[in-house]
Structure 1
Amino acid sequence: MDEQKKTLCLSADREDDIVAAGRLLKNGGLVAIPTETVYGLAANALNGRAAAAIFAAKGRPMDNPLIVHISNLEQWGPLVTEIPPRAMELARQFWPGPLTIILPKSDLIPDEVSAGQDTVAVRFPSHPVARAVIDAAGVPLAAPSANLSGSPSPTEAAHVMADLNGRIDAVLDGGPCIVGVESTVLTLAREVPRLLRPGGVTPEQLRQVLGQVEIDPAVLNPLGEGEKVLSPGMKYKHYSPKANVILLQGSWQQYRDFVNQKAGPGVFALCYDGESDFLQVPTVSYGGRQNAGEQARHLFDALRQLDKAGAKVIYARCPEPQGVGLAVYNRLIRAAGFEVIQLD
């Protein structure tokens, strides 16, 4: 893709701009669109060449599969070999919403979208603008996060432009995303359902529908050598600012004392609301200590703020890995490249 091309800035408030975004996508272009989770870099999911352009624009490894977005349940069936009853029950409970379901793919899905695997990840977003764009394009859309690969995911159109201006055809500004972290990814292409990436739909919610749900070891640990990337967000260092992120696990008093001992040029803290007055380094807060939903909503913007402020080292408060907090913890340990200091 020509990196000197002009990226159009479109508004989700204008019907004409939604139609224009759909037209660009139908013709093989790349458009960043808002969803309830993060902004996605969309392309025609049935067009292998268009999907390949996503990888080029993001600098994304080709073995990292894409998620296909649909705007109604009727679009799901042709993309997979079958929809088992447990998949349909999940759809009834959580779609439209931040849940991605992996099933064996049909021949309609190009290898570029599935990263050469025999499965496809599908999601039905709740954001009305995302669904309107899919309808305008007339095809399902493949859409990973609309950022440079490895950097914090974008939750505002300005984040997209900071990363991809000149690399994509357009960005459709639909305001800030309300969930703030990528969708939960669950594979049903095995006997026991397995959570591959935590998100806004929690393991507890999934178990209420399915009973048994395994959590893949790669949710909390690096992917093993030679293991396949079954879902986005599993293998590579992700969500990371330019600064070195270090996750600190321990009490508030232990965190405060450790960070204050490390005070110096370029040292910053990623903390909870109300803690900055007690820290002797510059800070950015990412939400209340007991509000995982707020932490998820503000995390990626906070990491981008720290980069803008010139942070070199970021000591991050460790969230509770429960409920939506599991998704926040998953993003932070990947942003930190699994560098965690146990303070106790």
Structure 2
Amino acid sequence: MQAINEALKKAQIILEEGGVIGLPTETVYGLAARIDIPSAIEKIFTTKERPFFDPLIVHVSSIDMAKKVTAYWGPASEALAEVFWPGPLTMVLPRDPSVNTMITSGLETVGIRMPNHPLALELIQEVGVPLAAPSANKFGKTSPTSAGHVRVEFKNENVFVLDGGDCDIGIESTVLLVRHRADKVELSILRRGHILRSDLERVLNEKGITFEFLEKIDKRESPGHMKHHYMPPIPLIVVTEPNLKPDQALKLINNKMSELPEEIESVKIQKPKNGIHSYELLKLSADPLLATREFYAQLREVAARGKDCILFYREDSQVGERWESLFDRLNKAASLIL
């Protein structure tokens, strides 16, 4: 207990001095800084090598704290927060003028969530102001689900990590755009996650709130919206044809790799200079909840085995909302989908 208290105090001091820290949450580890110190917000971007067009999520420890960073809270926000907070739901709401536009990438909306991790909540409460925190990895790379992942990722930057153990969920939060209109609430899922559309619909229906989901929406209001993200240091190839043998896949991959650009939307695409001659299979649990929890850690482990690429064979049984959330990450992490 004393060690935890000392770690919390050290994290608080670093934040108060305008630094960044590795923050544990139930989804993935975040790279956190105070939202009221502009130089600290900028340090998140420079440490991650993240472009300023990719907005950050503001983490709070209470609904009252959340209300201070949005210009309008509203009944739908209240209903969803009562059920899903603390938890892996980020709500994108109108930005309060006090929120630095560096956090929102110049947008008039801000993503807000209350993480379901005791150390994160205690730290935010002790600091007394919300923390901006994207995932604690270099931009476009695989997200971290343990303190060790963060330390390896930022070994050159010597980032202090508040160790809260392995993450329970394993992928980033659901991001939901919430717009309160006169007659109804308009909703858009900007990023899939552990909280599913069916979960959201159930709660809003129970609360008697009239709502509509909009499918066509500008996803720039969400972090992780690019076509490629979460990428391992060697190419990940998703194979959707079960009869395509690995050796056959390698021939196809080498033909298609030469056609890929060097980078897409500021994310570098992994393309071995001497071609791809060996592979390692990525295998995940049959239960989508377990598969999601282990995905990023497995991706890191398999990538470290020294082969030229990672092959993942998508199976017919991997269908449904939970698998869709995982495949949102997996497909963006992939250099190719065959």
- The TM-score normalised by the length of structure 1 is 0.82
Other-structure match for 2:302: 306
Amino acid at match of 1:23: I
Amino acid at match of 1:150: G
Identity of aligned residues (%): 33
Which residue among 319, 322, 330 is the counterpart of 2:320?
322
Other-structure match for 1:60: 50
Where does 1:214-229 land on structure 2 (aligned, <5 Å)?
Answer: 214=213, 216=215, 229=220
Which residue among 222, 228, 242 is the counterpart of 1:231?
222
Provide the rounded CA distance (Å) in 1 between the counterparts of 2:212 and 2:293. Answer: 25
Q: Which 10-residue stretch deviates more, 33-42 or 304-313? A: 304-313
Partner SS, residue 110 of structure 2: strand
Partner SS, residue 54 of structure 1: helix
The offset of 1:207, in angstroms, is: 1.5
The offset of 1:166, in angstroms, is: 3.1
Provide the rounded CA distance (Å) in 2 between the counterparts of 1:150 and 1:230. Answer: 17
Where does 1:75-224 land on structure 2 (aligned, <5 Å)?
Answer: 75-167=65-157, 169-189=159-179, 191-210=185-204, 214=213, 216=215
The offset of 1:53, in angstroms, is: 0.6
Provide the rounded CA distance (Å) in 2 between the counterparts of 1:213 and 1:127. Answer: 31
Provide the rounded CA distance (Å) in 1 between the counterparts of 2:327 and 2:2. Answer: 32
Other-structure match for 1:266: 278
Count of aligned positions: 302
The offset of 1:92, in angstroms, is: 0.9
Partner SS, residue 192 of structure 1: strand
1:20 equivalent to 2:10? Answer yes
* TM-superposition CA deviations, 1:85-108 (whole Å, max 9, x none): 011000011001000001001012
Q: CA RMSD in A?
A: 2.1
Amino acid at match of 2:246: V
Partner SS, residue 96 of structure 1: coil
Provide the rounded CA distance (Å) in 2 between the counterparts of 1:200 and 1:302. Answer: 18
Amino acid at match of 2:44: I
Does the 8 Å CA contact 1:266/1:310 hold for their aligned counterparts?
A: no
The offset of 1:46, in angstroms, is: 2.2
Gaps in structure 2 of 5+ consecutive residues: 206-210, 251-275
Q: Which 10-residue stretch deviates more, 314-323 or 92-101? A: 314-323
Other-structure match for 1:340: 337
Does the 8 Å CA contact 2:85/2:115 hold for their aligned counterparts?
A: yes
Provide the rounded CA distance (Å) in 2 between the counterparts of 1:12 and 1:68. Answer: 28
Q: Which 10-residue stretch deviates more, 257-266 or 160-169? A: 257-266
Provide the rounded CA distance (Å) in 2 between the counterparts of 1:102 and 1:304. Answer: 30
Partner SS, residue 161 of structure 2: strand
The offset of 1:217, in angstroms, is: 6.1
Amino acid at match of 1:155: T
* TM-superposition CA deviations, 1:33-74 (whole Å, max 9, x none): 110000000000122221111010001111000000001111
Partner SS, residue 193 of structure 1: strand
Provide the rounded CA distance (Å) in 2 between the counterparts of 1:195 and 1:185. Answer: 6
Structure 1 residues 302 and 145 mapped into 2: Cα distance closer, same or farther (>3 Å)?
same
Other-structure match for 2:254: none
* TM-superposition CA deviations, 1:170-203 (whole Å, max 9, x none): 1111110000000000001375200000111111
The offset of 1:209, in angstroms, is: 2.4
* TM-superposition CA deviations, 1:8-36 (whole Å, max 9, x none): xxx99521110110121122110001100
